[in-house]
Structures are given as structure tokens and as C-alpha cells.
Structure 1
Amino acid sequence: MEWVTTQTPDVLEAVRGVRNAVADTALPVDVAPEARAIVNQLDDYVLPRLANLDAPLLAVIGGSTGSGKSTLVNALLRERVSHPGVIRPTTRQPVLVANPGDADWFNSPQVLPGLARSHGAGDEQSTTLRVVETHRIPEGLALLDAPDFDSIDDQNRALASQLLAAADLWIFVTTPARYADQLVWNFLHDAAGRGIEVAVVLNRLDDKAAETVPDDLRRMMNDAGLSRSTVFTVPFVADLGGEQVGEFLGEELVAPLRDYLTALAQDTVARRDVAGKTVAGAVESVLARVEALVGRRERQENFANQLDEAIHELYTAANRHVIDATSDGKLLRSEVMDRWQDVIGTSDVFRGFERWFSSAVDKLGSFFTGEPAPLREVETEIETGLHAVIVDAAETAAGRAWSHTGAIAPDLRADADPALARASTDISAQAAQLVRDWQQAMVQRIQDTAGDKRQRARIMSFGLNVVTVALMLAVFASTAGITGGEVAIAGGSAVVGQKLLETIFGEDTVRRMVVEAREDLNQRLGELFAAERDRYHELTDPLLEGATADQLREATRQAKRAVDVRLLGIEEKPQLPAVQEDVEDSFERGTLRGLFDQLRGTFGKGDNDV
């Protein structure tokens, strides 16, 4: 059989966009089941029905445990296609009964794609969908005997809800003993809210119950907004009990319901009417449910971002701490400066450059002749101090971030890697590498800055290591990168190192070199602490996966617009402004059902454009 496809590509694309956004988005644990239910309904019913409004209808028969659903299906078909049981849950495997001419549609992945199909007697406890083909049901309509929606089996209850959400038509089977159960009315209220076509079967109605129950049931249905729904009654049959194998309820008992279903199956316009009304209500319901999820998604995003910001600030503070500890001479302890003074000396610094230069060269002679010299000690002290400050700051930030996470998100921390409570296991190696790389960059900067032979000769006279250490001292003795004779925070020895650099490069060049070296160090520190901070993204990234709240909101808005404008071909009828105004009123009320009823009343049920 070749199916006619309704031309609604804009609607399909927009609604599929909502589906994909919800499916791919991380949501709080308490609303994740609702998100899965939304995706299931879109996959199982909305998208296939939007793609093919003229496909056969699916009538899902649902009801309470022991209400006689399977017995009713068998009686309607005069064939034993469903197996009623006596052990709860009485219906274990969903059974879909279709005409062979419709079998391809119901076996296709467009209908209930998440359920595997079986075609034999099957495993009665299986959750696969058993498809039964029979000519006893007319083309255009299939019956699906669903598991009990009040089953003691959680999986059966979830499957029953999923199947009901995939229905074009609900046939609710209840009994005088169960018709007022709250669980029954939860489903019926949902049906009324969605505008779905509903038929209620009051089964096993004895003479005494017949005096009051049907009227009370209709009253409750009127109160629930289901006044247009049909109620069928099936008398109680004492000698059958709905359970005896090989026997059916009398044909006359189920004839009204069978006639109703047969007429619907044979009337193309009526089927399209039911399908259009149901899918419009389903889309409206789904989009409203998605909007409810948006608020939870937004709160989750805000929480994740706030946690991110708090942890970011802890690591930013650690970075600032290292910068502060390496500024204004704080890192240059007296023993470091004493060793430096042994290297370079400070006498006659301000009496004349030439004599000081000669004295400094002489002073450094021991370094090149292999005699004991404190230069390596100075360099090691600086490296060790910088390394210790970095490691300590990283450990402190990690500990504080772990404590903060535990205070505001204990469940999140409980699932996290406990290693986050400490800095990276290789933080010491990382810090050592940072110091080495920074020193190497300073060596390269000194070599690149020495432009003429005179400068290179003076560097060789002092030794590249001495000049490099002098630059490090100038960096650590500076205030925000400002150098010059007016700054002597670290004492005369540091200033002498600065003067040494100035005798080689000039004051302005030294000022620039110190600023660049400071900025280089700060950048390396920032990258290291950013990497340490990024370890905490494993906590918050899963909370931010998928579409954002704004993207979900926009996808929903686009879908609403597409449905409002395209689903029922509104744009193709601009010559009817009066109707358009009423339609726009329906839009403002947000009722797609009102839109559908308005169009149906205007053009008539026989108009295929509707």
C-alpha cells in the first residue's frame, strides 16, 4: 500500500528540532524521565503522524488490571489474538492487531520505533510488540492491547503510558468497581487536556451497577471536559467471566463498539479528523511540557555557571597570590640577596661605571675559573622559591574548590574523582617545567636584545647566567613592572643587578625587558592555573551538555509558529480575513484544538485541506 504524505516539512523540521534538543540536553535527574517521555511521544507518535496524516489510525486499548481489555479485543475480532491472564499483570505483552494491508505501516520504524516486533505467539512477559495480522479488522485502523497502566510491574506501567501517548484514539476499559479510581482519571484528564479522541468502555456492568454507575461516569466525564466522548457499556456475563479460553462475549454485546470502530476505519475524512485533532493536541501538550523543562534547565545552567565562577575565582586568587609573592621583592629573602652580593658586589656602584664594571668582572672571575661561586646558589634559591609558591597555591586552590563543591553540591562531589581535592599529581613537575621554560625564554630574550658587538661582548664578560639572574632579580624586585633608579625595594644588591643590565642595554630597554619577562611569567602562571581549574569542568560540563535553556526556548517558539502557521494550511487561505481573525484569537489563547475546530467548522469536515 502506498501512503499519502501530508506536505508539512516546516512543521516536521521544527518539531524534530525540539525533539533533538530535548534528547541531547542534560537535565536534572528528577526531570530526566519526563524528558525521555517527551522524546518517546515525539518519536512514537507526533513525528510519524505529522509526516503522514492519512496513515492508519492506532487505537490503544488501555485500562486497569483485570478490566477485561484482552477479552474485549478478542470479542471484537471473534478471534483469539490476545491472551488474557489470571496472574497480575494480566496483560504482559502489547499486541497490535492490524489488517494485512496496513501491516507494512505498523511494522515500519515510523511507528513505535523503540519497540522490537515479534509475530509469533511470543513470550508473554516480553516487552516486544507482537503484531498480529487479520482480515477481521478493516484497513485504516489498528487495535493495540496495552499492558495494564496500574500494573504492579514498573516496566509494564511505563510501557502502558508510552503506548497511550502514541495513540490516535484511546479506548479506556474500566468496570463498575474501578471506574472512579484516581489513576483512571489521571489518564482521562490528560486525554481531555490534549484533546485526544476518547471512547470509554464500562465493562462487566451488572444490573445493580447499571442503575447508577453509567450516569455517574458520564457526570464525571462531563466535569473532566470529556462530554463529547462516547461511553459504551458491556454487560456482565456470569458464565464467561472474561477469562475462559476459547469463548467470546456475545456479538450483540460488543456490536456498538465494533460498529463505531468500523465506521471510523472506513471514513477517510473522519480518520483524518481524528488524526489531525489528536496530533494538534499532542504537539500543544508536548511543547507545553518542554516549556516546563526549560525552567529547570535554566536553573541547572545557573547553578553550574555559579559553581564554575566560584571555582574560577579560587584559582584566580591562587594565581594572584603567586604574582603577589613574586613582586615587590617578597621572593628575595636576605640570604638570596647576600649570595647575589657575593656574586656581583656593590662597592663604588654610584662613583663611576668603569671602575665598577672592572670590579664586577674581576669579582666574577672565580665563576669562570671553577672556584666556588654563589651564583648557582642564587639561581637555585630563586627557582626553589618560585616553585614552592606555585605548588602551594595550586594545592590550596584545589582544597578550597573541593570544600566549596561539597558545601553547595554534596551529591555532585560524591560522584566526582577524589583526586580533585588535590592539585594534579604532576603539579611539582609542571611547576619546575614552568620555571625552566621561563628562564629559557629570558635567555632567548637577552640574546635577541643584544644587537651590537659591544652589548654581546659585555654579556660574555659577565656571563649569560649572571645576566639572566640579574633579569630575574629585576623582575622580582619591580613594582608592576616599573624599574629605574628610584625603585630599590629589594635593597641595594637588587639595584646593582638592575644597573648591570642597564650598562649593557640602557635603562629604557631594561625597563621593557623586565615588563616583558614579568608578563611572560604571568601568562605561564595563568595557563598553569587555568589547566588546574579546568579539571573541575568534569563536574559541571555534564550539567551543560546539549541545548541551552535559550536554545530550547527558541526551538519551542519556532515549533509553535510552524504548527500554528503550517500544520493546517492557514497561509493558503488569505482570502478569508474574518476566519483569520478568529484563528489569531485561537493562537493567542494557545489552543491548537480551538484552531482545528474553527477550521473544521468553517470549511466542513469534507474539505481535505483541513
Structure 2
Amino acid sequence: MNDKDPAALLAAVERLRDSADAVHLPLELDGTEGARGSRRELVQQLDDYVLPRLRALDAPLLAVVGGSTGAGKSTLVNSVVGDEVTRTGVIRPTTRASVLVHHEQDTRWFTDKRVLPGLARVAGVGEGGAADDPGSVRLVPTSSLPAGLALLDAPDIDSVVKANRSLSRQLLAAADLWLFVTTAARYADAVPWDLLREASERGTSVAIVLNRVPPEALEQVRLHLASMLREQGLGQAPIFTVLEVDLNRGMIPVKHVERLRSWLQSLARDARARSVVIRRTLSGTLGSLDGRAVGVADAVAAQAAAFAELEQAPRTAYAAALEGVSQGVQDGSLLRGEVLARWQELVGTGEFLRSVEAGIGRLRDRVAAYFTGRQVSSEPLGDAIQTGAAALITSHGQVAASTATRSWKTLPGGAELVREHPGLGKASPDLTERVERLIRDWQGEVLDLVREEAGSRRATARYLAFGVNGFAVLLMIVVFSMTAGLTGGEIAIAGGSAVLAQRLLEAVFGDQAVRSMATKARKALLGHVERLYEDERARFERVLEEVAVREHAAEELRAAAAGVEAAR
């Protein structure tokens, strides 16, 4: 940290804070839980410590007293202050909420939520109730503590209560100085050393209080502790030892805490020494922001990549479904079974098919003669086409839902979404009804095409033989005319039927008009199907809206972190 432009540094940190706060990590990926914690801790430290300290470098030094369960933190604070300012006891955890002890002259620095803005303020020592709320900090003014220094008694770092552990970490991250309290029996425990390692990496000023040390073990324990501190880069941290002695009215005898008390008092009274501690911790914390922010940005980028894959899976599945319908519409497969039977009922398999085999050229001259005076019902064939097309569209829609869901189960973050929305694995309950309505609407459009094209031809014998409904059905046969999906005898029958339908239409409308109508009808059908599948796919999109990842969040966070690096 330097003083080249404090306002620019503050603005850069504020930008970083806003960028980090805007980050959301909604998908359950490997490492996401840790990244969420890192983001939360980053925002909290910016709010609780970095921004308040940048805005008021001359504010009192905040020393957070932290340590393991039963280390004697509250007893030590009371003994150093010389008054019972924080409750002690034998029931664990003893310290359930935070207690901030400060000189009466410094009250204004802490009542306005300059630091720890997310914690409610409670006044006085208290006997429980609000004092036990981890969401509060209890302010205890005293004349026994010199102005310029505040002691914050934090909950146990290894508390059995998760809220207490979280609060303890939050408070330690808000400290100018971490006063770590441990005992001869527990100084090598893993949990506190994890936090000490973090403090070292972030440049936090640390002092160690080795409490309850048997006199005969003092030298050995102190040397071992000093060695461990050097290994973690904390070799310069002062060590204060407190022997295991009987308490006097619940406090450690004065002579056993005098060295620690004198050091804290001299720190409070020496503005330069206090500034060195504050600036060292602030500089170390600022230096850690870039790496921490980039780690969160990497997690955001992983979320964005996973989100893109999840977004693409339903698109691919429903695009394949639409392609399947498109092929099914054109490959002749709809001209099987019931549709063939109804077609044969309509035109017969003898006379007309023999005409097809003998030569299509002579068929035109025989159409009028065949249909003169004969009104043929095309309704059964139309119903069969409707049923076949509906089955095709419904089947592909159901397969698409299943395929998209299976894809999600295999993609990062997708399995949790499927568990939360089990209905995605099947098509919408009303899909069949909507498909039937779609086919009816499309058939109505085909009727309109025939009416529009017929014009003055409506009075001809050929037109009258079939009427608008009959020719509409013939046009549908042409729409489903290609035979790539059929084999053997099916090709001869279905192919001949399609050719016959086309020639009958051409006899009335001409070949160009028939091609135009068939193309329009096919496009109209596929357009309806595409919109239907878009509606089905929207079920997946609505789920993704709940876990949307901001596209540029990672880049914004990296840029903000780089801005802090440049300004500090």
C-alpha cells in the first residue's frame, strides 16, 4: 500500500466490492461450495475491514482475540482490562457472540457501524438474550483500556456451533491485529494453524498468547511454538506466555498478564507504532485481494461454461426432434398403414395404379371421366393423416424431453437441476392435445391454400369431383411424398399413391402451382412444429433462468481486482 492516490485506491476497492457482491454461483459444480465461501469472505472482509480502514486510517486499532474452545480468551480479556467486560464460564461454547471492548472516547468509531456493518449493536455486558446472538456485537466502553485500541472477544474458531465458527472467521478477517490465544495442551491443533497460515498469507499482524503453561514445560513449549511460527512465515510474531495459575476472583493475577497489557497499552499510546501495525495488515490484505478475486472469477467462468452446456443440451435435443419430424414428413413413412388403407379406399388400387404403371401421360385424360358424377369422401383419409402426423410429432417431442434430461444428468451442474425438476424428463402433460390442435390448424391452412389457388377452377368437373376437402387431402399426400423411409413393396404402393395424388392435383392446378402449394404446406407444418418444440424447450429455459450466470461477471471481477493492484 502507498499514499500515491488514496481516493483512487478507495474507488478501486469499492468497485471490486460491488463486482464480487454481484457474483452468483448457483450451479452445483465441483469446488463451488468452497468458491461461494471465498466470495462471501471476500465481500465480508471488504465491508468489515478494508473499506472502513481505508476511509479512516486514524481510527482505533482493532485487536481481535481469537482461539480454540476453552483457551481462556474471555478470561484473558477481562484480566488485561482489569474488569469483567466479557462473560466467562465452563459451558462450551462460552463466547456465543462478539464482545467489543473500547475506551469511552472511542465509542463513536464503533456505534456508527464503521466496522462490521452487518452486525447489530448491543450495549453493555449483558447476561444473555441479545448478547448471545451471533448476529450482534456487544459494545462495552471502559476507561480501563487506553484510547486508540479496541479488543474484540470472538467466538471459538472450532466451535460446535457453525454460526459461531463463521462469525469467528469473519471477525478475524476484520482485525488490524489478531491476538491468537492457545494453550500448552492445544497449541499444535490443526484448525488454528489453518487460520494462522491464512493470516500469514494475507500479511495480517499476529501476536500469540500461550496460555495455561505449566512452569516446567514453559521453555520446551515456547521453543516448539516459535519453530512452528517460523515455518508458517510468522517468525516475527511476538509470543506472550501466561503460566498455569489459580485465578483471583475469576481473573489471572496481574503479574502474569503485565507484559501483554504493557505491550497493548504502548501500542495504543504510540500513534506511529499503531500506524505500522494497521498499515502492515491493510497492505497485506490489499495484496491478497487479486489472487482471491481471480479464484472467484475462475469459479464464475466455470459456472458460465457449465451454464452454456446446459443451455445447449435442450436446443440440440429439440433441434434433432424437429429434424426427425422434417424427415418423417418427407420420407414417405406417414404413407404406411392406416393412411395407405384409406387412400386405397379413396381411389382404389386397380384402375388408377395400372394407369400409373402404363404411363402418367395418359392419366390426365382419364381423370375427368373417372370422377364425373362421382363425389368421393376424403374424410377418413384426412383423419388417418392427422393421426399419423400427430403421432410422429408427439413421439419426437417426448424423445427430445428424455434426451435433454439425460444430457443434463451427465453435465456439470445438471443432475441437481433434474432432481429439483423431475417433470422435465417427460413431455408436457398436454402435449398430445396441443399436437392434435396443431394438426387441425395446419389442415385448415392447407384448405385455405387450395381455396386460394382454385379461383375460377371451382366450377370444373375435376374440381367438383373432389371438392376443396378432397384436394386438400391430396395435397397432404404430396407433402408426405418422398419414400426414403420405405422399402420393397411399400415403395411401390406409397410412391405410386403420392405420384397419383400429385398428378390429380396437377390436372386441376398445374405442376408449378402444386409444387408451390406443397412447399408452403410443408413449411407451414414444420413452422408450427418448431414453435411447439420451442414451447417445450422453454420448460428447460425457465429452469435455467433460476440459475442464470451473468455472462461478463468473471471479466468484470478480474478487471476490478487488477484495478486495485494498479492503485495500491
| Maintained 8 Å contact 1:488/1:495 | no
* Residue 394 (structure 2) aligns with: 391
1:519 paired with 2:549, answer no
| Maintained 8 Å contact 1:327/1:477 | yes
Give how far 1:23 is off. Answer: 4.5
Give how far 1:515 is off. Answer: 1.8
Q: 1:353/1:291 Cα in 2 relative to 1: closer, same or farther (>3 Å)? A: same
* Residue 210 (structure 2) aligns with: 202
* Residue 166 (structure 1) aligns with: 174
Q: 1:239/1:328 Cα in 2 relative to 1: closer, same or farther (>3 Å)? A: closer
Q: Tell me, in whole angstroms, the C-alpha distance in 2 between the residues paired with 1:271 and 1:518.
A: 82
* Residue 487 (structure 2) aligns with: none
Q: 1:535/1:176 Cα in 2 relative to 1: closer, same or farther (>3 Å)? A: same
Give how far 1:72 is off. Answer: 1.9
Q: 1:276/1:174 Cα in 2 relative to 1: closer, same or farther (>3 Å)? A: same
Q: Letter of the aligned partner of 2:470 in structure 1?
A: V
Alignment of 1:124-135 (within 5 A): 125-127=132-134, 128-135=136-143
Give how far 1:350 is off. Answer: 3.5
Alignment of 1:136-285 (within 5 A): 136-240=144-248, 244-245=249-250, 247=251, 249-250=253-254, 252-285=255-288
Q: Letter of the aligned partner of 1:432 in structure 2?
A: E
Q: 1:353/1:154 Cα in 2 relative to 1: closer, same or farther (>3 Å)? A: closer
| Maintained 8 Å contact 1:394/1:423 | yes
Alignment of 1:376-415 (within 5 A): 376-403=379-406, 405-406=408-409, 412=416, 415=419
Q: Letter of the aligned partner of 1:562 in structure 2?
A: G
Q: What TM-score comes out, normalization by structure 2 length?
A: 0.83
* Residue 484 (structure 1) aligns with: none
SS at match of 1:535: helix
Q: Tell me, in whole angstroms, the C-alpha distance in 2 between the residues paired with 1:23 and 1:45.
A: 22
Unaligned runs of 5+ residues in structure 2 are 485-490
* Residue 558 (structure 1) aligns with: 559
Q: 1:141/1:502 Cα in 2 relative to 1: closer, same or farther (>3 Å)? A: farther
| Maintained 8 Å contact 2:65/2:153 | yes
Match of 1:363 among 370, 374, 397: 374
String of CA shifts for 1:371-419, please: whole Å, max 9, x gaps: xx43111111100110111222222333444455556679526723332
Give how far 1:297 is off. Answer: 4.6
* Residue 426 (structure 2) aligns with: 422
* Residue 72 (structure 2) aligns with: 68
Give how far 1:187 is off. Answer: 1.8
Q: 1:48/1:354 Cα in 2 relative to 1: closer, same or farther (>3 Å)? A: farther
Give how far 1:426 is off. Answer: 0.4
Alignment of 1:20-59 (within 5 A): 20-23=21-24, 26=27, 28=29, 30-31=33-34, 32-59=36-63
Q: Letter of the aligned partner of 2:116 in structure 1?
A: L
Q: Tell me, in whole angstroms, the C-alpha distance in 1 between the residues paired with 2:535 and 2:463.
A: 38
Q: 1:525/1:284 Cα in 2 relative to 1: closer, same or farther (>3 Å)? A: farther
Alignment of 1:409-488 (within 5 A): 412=416, 415-449=419-453, 453-455=455-457, 461=464, 462-478=466-482
| Maintained 8 Å contact 2:26/2:548 | yes
Q: Letter of the aligned partner of 1:97 in structure 2?
A: V
Q: Tell me, in whole angstroms, the C-alpha distance in 1 between the residues paired with 2:28 and 2:567.
A: 30
Match of 1:103 among 98, 107, 127: 107
Q: Tell me, in whole angstroms, the C-alpha distance in 1 between the residues paired with 2:99 and 2:516.
A: 82
* Residue 601 (structure 1) aligns with: none
Q: Letter of the aligned partner of 2:320 in structure 1?
A: A
| Maintained 8 Å contact 2:97/2:154 | yes
SS at match of 1:363: coil
Unaligned runs of 5+ residues in structure 1 are 365-372, 481-486, 568-610
Q: Letter of the aligned partner of 1:214 in structure 2?
A: R
Q: 1:361/1:77 Cα in 2 relative to 1: closer, same or farther (>3 Å)? A: farther
Q: Tell me, in whole angstroms, the C-alpha distance in 2 between the residues paired with 1:143 and 1:379.
A: 87
String of CA shifts for 1:164-199, please: whole Å, max 9, x gaps: 122121011122222233323222211111101111
Q: Tell me, in whole angstroms, the C-alpha distance in 2 between the residues paired with 1:209 and 1:560.
A: 47
Q: 1:457/1:82 Cα in 2 relative to 1: closer, same or farther (>3 Å)? A: farther
| Maintained 8 Å contact 1:14/1:558 | no
SS at match of 1:22: coil
Q: Tell me, in whole angstroms, the C-alpha distance in 2 between the residues paired with 1:274 and 1:547.
A: 39
Q: 1:546/1:351 Cα in 2 relative to 1: closer, same or farther (>3 Å)? A: closer
Q: 1:86/1:357 Cα in 2 relative to 1: closer, same or farther (>3 Å)? A: same
| Maintained 8 Å contact 1:23/1:36 | no
Q: 1:494/1:142 Cα in 2 relative to 1: closer, same or farther (>3 Å)? A: same
String of CA shifts for 1:297-349, please: whole Å, max 9, x gaps: 54455455445545544433333322222213221232132134269x94797
Q: 1:356/1:288 Cα in 2 relative to 1: closer, same or farther (>3 Å)? A: same
Q: 1:446/1:545 Cα in 2 relative to 1: closer, same or farther (>3 Å)? A: same
Give how far 1:62 is off. Answer: 0.5
* Residue 88 (structure 1) aligns with: 92
Name the stretch that deviates more: 520-529 or 471-480.
471-480
Q: 1:391/1:139 Cα in 2 relative to 1: closer, same or farther (>3 Å)? A: same
Q: 1:224/1:491 Cα in 2 relative to 1: closer, same or farther (>3 Å)? A: closer
Q: What TM-score comes out, normalization by structure 1 length?
A: 0.78
| Maintained 8 Å contact 2:309/2:411 | no
Q: Tell me, in whole angstroms, the C-alpha distance in 1 between the residues paired with 2:363 and 2:165.
A: 96
Give how far 1:286 is off. Answer: 4.2
* Residue 83 (structure 2) aligns with: 79
Sequence identity percentage: 38
Q: Tell me, in whole angstroms, the C-alpha distance in 2 between the residues paired with 1:18 and 1:187.
A: 26
SS at match of 2:209: strand
Give how far 1:145 is off. Answer: 0.1
| Maintained 8 Å contact 2:475/2:501 | yes
* Residue 595 (structure 1) aligns with: none
